[in-house]
Every structure is written in C-alpha cells, then in structure tokens.
Structure 1
C-alpha cells in the first residue's frame, strides 16, 4: 500500500492558541492552551520555479484560516477542533490535496506531570 500523504508540503508547527474547548465545565470557563501542527500537501513546483507568491498557498493565510477556525465556538472534543480546521483549510485553499492536523492539549484534565494529550487527523480532499 502506498502512502497517499506524500510529495510537497507546507508545514506550520507549534501554533499556540488559547481556547475554551473541552467537556468539563472548568475547561469551558477557564480555558487553556492548545498547540496545533499542520502539514498541507500541495504542489510547490510552480512557486519554486517562478518565485511568485501567487503560485502557492501563503503560510500566513493558512495560519489566519487556522486561527479563525480554532477561535469559532467552543467544541467538546479536540478531534472536532482538528476536523473544523481541516474543513476550513480545504475550503480556503483548493490546491491543498491532503492535510494532517495535530491538536495538542498540554493541560488536559488527567494526572500527568509532563506531556501532552493529542490527536492527529489525516484527511484527503474529497472530490465532489
């Protein structure tokens, strides 16, 4: 089986946000830090050969779409947060063919001294 998440990519790592996502009332009231990592599969050869911003997806705009998606209404699950980010990126950037979204929650309400609770979604653009 071949990996469908290959080729060129735009990567944004360790994007920090403060949000009110979570199941517990304290998470919805007090909020907490979250970190998002993105990998967007996109053909970068037109931008590489022309040196023109219009031939790629701007990572600044990818960040802006991600931030807006994250800051929409609070959700219970970080899985739903990641899915919303993926959906908004696919809608905003038609040249992105696949996306990996990782959402990390370092202050998850579990008894860990150090580390992150995290999920990662891998999504292919649906043709339709």
Structure 2
C-alpha cells in the first residue's frame, strides 16, 4: 500500500514507436502514420525491490505490447482520444496510481516546417468510495 504523503516511484517507457490510422483527414486514416508514445507511471516499487520478482511490479514489456495494440486498433480523429485510450490501458494495472502519456505525431499534416506535435495528459486512478 502506498503512503499518500510519499511521492511514488516512476517507471518510464519512452519512444514507443507505433503505426496508426488516426486523424481527421481521409488520407491519414487510409495511409496511416507513425505515432511515438512516452509513458511515465506512478508506482510504489518497494515490494518489487524487496522480492526481486517481476510479478510485484509493472511488466513494461507487456505494457508496451498492450499500448502498441491500443494505438493500432480502431482509428480515432483526435490524439486527445488516443491519449485517453492509452492512459486507460496503463491504469488497468492496480499498482499504477497515475499515468502521464505523451502522444507524438511527428508527421502531422501541418503546412509549416516543424519537428513534432505532442499532447501530454496525466490521469490518476479513480478512488471508489462506498
């Protein structure tokens, strides 16, 4: 159980390259494009450190595969919707207290020279009170 006054540890997966068919334009959905995902998760890793057992922490290999599958499925118009979908995947693991998700869209259809378009969201686990 994490202590609410102690900052959580952070597990990060940065630069996860995925292919998706998201966007408001027909050519984006038809042709697809690269999306790069950064994840930072708030997790208490003390149990895993004590046990040295993968079952006591977030398996970032499995998480990466789940996030990649989430990007590759059902096209959406907005990266806001995609980022929320990814955050929801991250929060499926009860050990994750919050998730910060950055969606990079380096090939966004802008009529200008640019390096990247990004959206970053942070979502916390909802506390259910009975």
TM value normalised by structure 1: 0.91
For residues 56-94 of structure 1, the C-alpha deviation after alignment (integer angstroms, 9 at most, x for no partner) is 011111112111211120000011001001112212x11
SS in 2 for 1:110: coil
Q: Which residue of 1 aligns with 2:125?
A: 125
Q: Which residue of 2 aligns with 1:32?
A: 33
For residues 26-79 of structure 1, the C-alpha deviation after alignment (integer angstroms, 9 at most, x for no partner) is 101111111000001110111112211111011111112111211120000011
Please give the residue correspondences for 1:11-90 in structure 2 after superposition, counting only pairs within 5 Å: 11-90=12-91
RMSD of aligned alpha carbons: 1.3
Length, aligned pairs only: 123
Gaps of 5+ in 2: none
For residues 10-40 of structure 1, the C-alpha deviation after alignment (integer angstroms, 9 at most, x for no partner) is 1000000111000011101111111000001
Q: Which residue of 2 aligns with 1:101?
A: 101
> What's the offset of the Cα at 1:102?
0.2
Distance, in Å, in 2 between the alignment partners of 1:105 and 1:50 is 39
Of stretches 109-118 and 80-89 in structure 1, the one that deviates more from structure 2 is: 109-118
Gaps of 5+ in 1: none
